[in-house]
Amino acid sequence: MSAAEALPATVGALLAAACERLATPDARLDAELLLAHVLGSTRTQLYARPETTVDAAARASYHALLARRQAGEPVAYLLGRQEFWSLAIVLDGSTLVPRPETELLVELALARVAADVAEVLDLGTGSGAIALALASERPAWRVLGVDCDPAALRLARANAERLALDNVDFAPGDWFAGLQGRCFDLVVANPPYVAEDDPCLAAPGVCREPRHALVAGVDGLDALREIVTRARAHLNLGGWLLCEHGAAQGEALREMFAAAGFAAIATRRDLAGHERVTQGRSAGPFTPSGSAGE
């Protein structure tokens, strides 16, 4: 008898066995999401009919997904999607899974720029989640997402096409490389900000995400330093830079923003109370380092 055939045959029994098997804080949620995916149902339908018999083929598919989850693969990769800002973002394992806390970056970006028309840049766009959220909320904004990973760009473009958003575009680029002479009203970034020896990199889920999208040097600040240092040369007068970062990096980011000549510097906390997004405004003309003036 195969492992799948040995699984209980009803929805309720399958979920109970899966929770015991996964044995993680989110075991119940993971088990429900994966079973609903296999059965093409909703979690509510699972609750309503726990006595429903599940056929052998579906049990085999469920068994395979549970094994992959046990091995540390993110649920979002197994489902092939993740909801972000009410949008269903398709994923294929080539980018990070969009986090709920990143919605704070979107919320603040929308609040900072009141104009109906604006030029917006999303650095390190990955799946395109942030760019797509902004484009969906502000149809007259022109949003550009850049990423150095061709696989990420293919995914972002596919998400934009599926969501029928025509005010967003994606282009290859290593942060501001390739954007010489272009300025924006708003620049947002959720770059890698994990230190290379951080134990969180071994955590379930995270261990299967692309390392290059997570790690940024010894202290996790390499990408943020480059972005903050170079951003003012690409911001219109009064334009905003907003960067997501780690919970313990707020003070370092405020110092970086100040050194780069930003005004109105502030760090906002996420729903868990952690410092998560630092923002600053370009309040004067940009002067390259070594030139007179501010």
Reported as a single tens digit per residue, the pLDDT across 147-206 is: 999 999 999 999 999 999 999 999 999 999 989 989 999 999 999 999 888 888 888 778
**What's the chain's Rg over C-alpha atoms?**
22
SS3 content of the chain, % helix, strand, coil (to 5): 40, 20, 40
Percent of the chain with pLDDT over 70: 94
Domains and CATH numbers, the chain: 3-71 (1.10.8), 92-281 (3.40.50.150)
User: Which range is least confidently modeled, 2-6, 26-30, 155-159?
Assistant: 2-6
Number of residues assigned to the chain: 294
| 80 Ramachandran zone, left/alpha/beta (phi>0; psi -120 to 50) | left
Instruction: Note the pLDDT of residue 200.
Output: 85
Instruction: Note the pLDDT of residue 287.
Output: 52
Reported as a single tens digit per residue, the pLDDT across 259-271 is: 999 999 999 999 9
